[in-house]
């Protein structure tokens, strides 16, 4: 079944995007990336050596740009200016590469996005010719604004970065997807394969994760689990679930019921 | 990674068991079974032609016993006597095959198991030399009793047969698994790939399903989704999830909190 | 609004039944009972002095039978014989009082009911003229059998005794209530006022609890909270909830959606 | 127990705020308000006659300002300018009354708030001397910004206005409450008494609702249910719930478990 994901003019078979931080070393990163089947790999420009430190191990020797789409991100930026500057640095380091993942965070403790700064930075980057994939909260009005501005993908959080709490508000994701014409990728919060399967069943176009793999007891095996979980969820979405059947008799005393779901 | 499932002296690579009813025709059954990767395939002896009707299409010509373990089941039996008789009929039809799936149902409307009859039939079948896989409710005391009696696998429901409501009480499944030495297979209730992934992440040994595949909009694609979902959940269980992190400050006013989970 | 609960020929305004164990002392028990508004108060005959120990404080001096319906229970019994014997002892201590709460437990660790023994003991007690309120699992076939046998109230668990996990499987409670003609009281598992409100909104006739009050940080205040929670849930059930509205456009790509609820 | 709510220099015993729209007539509104025990009653200035239409029934004759705090709101405003203008109109109609509830909506379909406009309008209103209670999404960074700007209460949604889906993301509410010094009131989404009890148990300071009462089958009875539900949740929060107890043996195979909660 051919069911590719299109982002910024390129076509991908995998709908799993993964981060490169938090692994034991670059070799484990490489193994996890390989096991995950990911084709897009995101890199925190401020924390990862992509050539800024000439004598040190360079991630790009392990996860190579000829094989993977490298997606530089602005992790660690807490205002629009820092984020824009970081994207420009990434473009230089990667020889004119225009694809970036923008994140502007609200505080050190929760890493929740600062939306006012995110919107401002996104506008500047789009104007400057970047292809912007943008991390955001799950506000559907904001998601639409970011799409209308020209972002190539909108990436709402499932829950806080590094929390592993899964998709806390699937209803908001549905509202976002219903209006979207660009790919909606869940970014942050997924902790387990079932979290990933569930998010894909909702209809989202893909998922970006890092801690769920890197902080598993066995990261490489979890990378394999996540690959399958995402494919399972996507195929389940396309195959269309069986109807649910509740065995409640509508003429019974439970009519008018205040039920749990 | 070698991680086989052992039931009644045989070894299986797949942890997905599937039913053969509710498909458009035997050819679609065959395709779905193949896409699912299942090695154990269950058949309702009272509803399916395994040779009882000589001139009619025979399921065993599509899903062949040389390739699959055929698991006859007692679907449609509402008392111990009928169930025992049905197992004996199956043994005759299948040339001395001892493996059966016992289910004794409580009523036509909900198909909830009748545990008193189930326990009685299980004892008779074990005494008569059958290898009994047994469908049951999610009562941990009953599950232990069925295991102690000699059943080769205990199969608690996730929710009602044909409901697609998923695993409604994961806590009871955990109580059952904690005491079990035979494989615990979730039987009934799974509706989506994420339901399957979640059940496997809980630690159960496998899942039996029918409607979730046969009543999907595209059954063969859903069979593939379920194969991946179960592998994802199993690998996720073995890989060990990342720790959850809740960003609540223990010295805040929310201490002593009545929280949702 | 008059909306009484009828059990064994008596009429009650309160739908909250509470236990008397686990409090600091009988005086705190008395205060909590009073704050809860309960009219039926259950007592573990094997653990509580109702006169068996003449020189010791007697619960009945604090929670007096002229004001409350005393409901002796068989907590601590692990087989039918012990439970029946305990009920007979209670009848003697309480001068021919026929109302009892039967519980027969499956093991020391989980306190999950042993249903085979429960059914046997219930039959003996009914035959012996007792008015039997019976603690059971959430199996709808078993609940119906206990009702048909003549029990005056069926009391399924929400979750394990002392767990505070709430009602883990509301769907099973609905199945039970749909077929019931005697009062269905949730017994065990409720941990918070919202657990209680939710259970009442499902349509159950009342709730019995102990730890949720006795093990709260402030038991007497929690007793007051539970009184209101149960009234809120009952009134909500009778008032009929507003319709839920999901803002998903049925012609959107989310059609055929695999959703969370 | 004295446990008042303080807003803009006034003290309230009730933590339930209710709307006045969607009732059959002003008389039903009056009865529901009375049954709810609410002391703050919100009014959509653009939809309700507060004197703008001299010959028509005036809400203020049924819900009188001597008895209730009237809280004019900007329902139906889709940009900052309209919202500010509506607040000024309300101040005129109500003789210099400074307390307003600001809501600026993002679209007609979902009524999700437009946060950029909300922030702008809030700033203008605060600068103009209004006491601003502000409806917002559940973004903790935005909530803090609105508080820092001088709003007297921040009112995050539980779910969409009129949806009755309850609090979809309790975790975000906890993040908001943890940083807040002004009252946090859940505004929108509550559908049942248990939704209300649960929100109060999380620690929020109060709840504003309208449809949950007005669209119940019996609004006046539901108003009474909600009064009790909110008191139950508040008392439960203050009383401190019993500890949850999960009966999983940490040395069992379920260690490292991927569990549901």
* C-alpha span between A63 and A56 (Å, rounded): 15
Name chain C contacts of A254, Cβ cutoff 8 Å.
Answer: 174, 177-178, 202-203
A198 dihedral zone (left: phi>0; alpha: psi -120 to 50; beta): alpha
Please tell me the distance in Å from C210's CA to the nearest CA on chain A. Answer: 24
Here the tokens at position D195 are 């939704």
DSSP state of C242: P
* C-alpha span between B5 and B185 (Å, rounded): 11
Kindly state the helix (H) or strand (E) to which residue A69 belongs, with its residue range. strand A69-73
Known catalytic residue at C101: yes
DSSP state of B108: T
Look up the pTM and report it: 0.93
> Residue D181: closest CA among chain B residues belongs to which residue?
B253
**Are B172 and B139 in contact, with CB atoms under 8 Å apart?**
yes
Task: Dump pLDDT digits (tens) for A78-107.
Answer: 999 999 999 999 999 888 889 999 999 999
Name chain B contacts of D257, Cβ cutoff 8 Å.
Answer: 174, 201-203, 237, 241
* DSSP β-bridge partners for residue D43: D72
For tokens 């203020």, name the residue: D60
CB contact under 8 A, D194 and C236: yes
Residue D197, phi then psi, degrees to nearest 5: -60, -45
**Cα–chain-centroid distance for residue A111?**
15
Here the tokens at position D37 are 């025990």
Task: Dump pLDDT digits (tens) for D21-66.
Answer: 899 999 999 999 999 999 999 999 988 888 888 889 999 999 999 9
Active site residues of B: 101
Please say if the pLDDT value at position C252 is more than 70.
no
Closest partner CB to A253 (pick from C203, C249, C256): C203
Closest partner CB to B160 (pick from A214, A241, A247): A247
* C-alpha span between D237 and D231 (Å, rounded): 10
Name chain C contacts of B116, Cβ cutoff 8 Å.
Answer: 116, 119, 145
Q: How would you label C50-63 residue by residue, b for 16+ Cβ within 10 Å and e otherwise?
A: beeeeeeebbbebb
* C-alpha span between C154 and C183 (Å, rounded): 7
* C-alpha span between C48 and C225 (Å, rounded): 26
* C-alpha span between C220 and C38 (Å, rounded): 13
Closest partner CB to D258 (pick from B236, B252, B253): B236
Please say if the pLDDT value at position A252 is more than 60.
no
Please say if the pLDDT value at position D122 is more than 70.
yes
CB contact under 8 A, B202 and D259: yes
Task: Dump pLDDT digits (tens) for D51-106.
Answer: 888 889 999 999 999 999 999 999 999 999 999 999 999 999 888 889 999 999 99
Quickly state the pLDDT bin for C260 (edges 50, 70, 90): very low
Name chain C contacts of A261, Cβ cutoff 8 Å.
Answer: 261
Please tell me the distance in Å from B165's CA to the nearest CA on chain C. Answer: 9
Asked whether residue D106 is marked as a ligand-binding residue, the answer is no
CB contact under 8 A, D229 and C236: yes
Here the tokens at position D61 are 């004759």
**Cα–chain-centroid distance for residue C237?**
18
Q: How far is CA B87 from CA B20, B102, D15, D122, in A?
A: 17, 8, 63, 73
Here the tokens at position B140 are 């941990």
Interface of A with D (CB under 8 A): 106-107, 110, 112-116, 119, 137, 139-142, 145, 159-160, 165, 168-169, 171-172, 175, 192-194, 217, 256, 258
Please say if the pLDDT value at position C34 is more than 60.
yes
CB contact under 8 A, D212 and C164: no
Task: Dump pLDDT digits (tens) for D182-225.
Answer: 999 999 999 999 999 999 999 999 999 999 999 999 999 999 99
Please say if the pLDDT value at position D132 is more than 70.
yes
Neighboring chains of D (3 or more beta-carbon pairs < 8 A) = A, B, C
CB contact under 8 A, D194 and C233: yes
CB contact under 8 A, C193 and D222: no
Name chain A contacts of D169, Cβ cutoff 8 Å.
Answer: 168-169, 172
CB contact under 8 A, A169 and D165: no
Looking at C22, C101, C109, C228, which residue is catalytic?
C101
What tens-digit pLDDT sequence spans chain B (261 residues)? 689 999 999 999 999 999 998 999 999 999 999 999 999 999 999 888 888 888 899 999 999 999 999 999 999 999 999 999 999 999 998 888 899 999 999 999 999 999 999 999 999 999 999 999 999 999 999 999 999 999 999 999 999 999 999 999 999 999 999 999 999 999 999 999 999 999 999 999 999 999 999 999 999 999 999 999 999 999 999 999 999 988 644 333 333 344 434
CB contact under 8 A, B247 and D175: yes
ipTM reported for the complex, 2 dp: 0.92
């Amino acid at each position: 079944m051919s069911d590719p994901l299109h982002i910024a003019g390129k076509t991908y078979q995998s709908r799993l995007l993964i981060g490169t931080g938090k692994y034991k070393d670059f070799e484990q990163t490489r193994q996890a990336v390989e096991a995950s089947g990911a084709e897009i790999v995101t890199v925190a420009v401020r924390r990862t050596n992509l050539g800024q430190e000439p004598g040190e191990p360079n991630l790009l020797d392990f996860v190579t740009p000829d094989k993977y789409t490298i997606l530089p991100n602005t992790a660690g930026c807490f205002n629009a200016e820092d984020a824009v500057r970081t994207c420009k640095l990434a473009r230089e380091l990667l020889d004119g590469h225009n694809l970036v993942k923008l994140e502007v965070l609200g505080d050190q403790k929760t890493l929740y996005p600062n939306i006012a700064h995110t919107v401002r930075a996104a506008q500047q980057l789009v104007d400057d010719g970047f292809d912007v994939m943008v991390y955001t909260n799950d506000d559907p009005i904001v998601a639409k604004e970011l799409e209308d501005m020209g972002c190539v993908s909108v990436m709402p959080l499932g829950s806080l970065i590094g929390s592993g709490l899964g998709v806390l508000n699937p209803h908001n994701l549905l509202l976002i997807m219903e209006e979207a014409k660009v790919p909606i990728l869940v970014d942050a919060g997924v902790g387990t394969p079932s979290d990933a399967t569930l998010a894909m069943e909702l209809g989202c176009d893909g998922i970006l994760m890092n801690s769920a793999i890197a902080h598993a007891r066995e990261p490489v095996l979890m990378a394999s689990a996540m690959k399958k979980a995402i494919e399972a969820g996507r195929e389940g979405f396309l195959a269309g679930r069986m109807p649910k059947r509740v065995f409640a008799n509508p003429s019974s005393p439970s009519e008018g019921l205040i039920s749990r779901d």
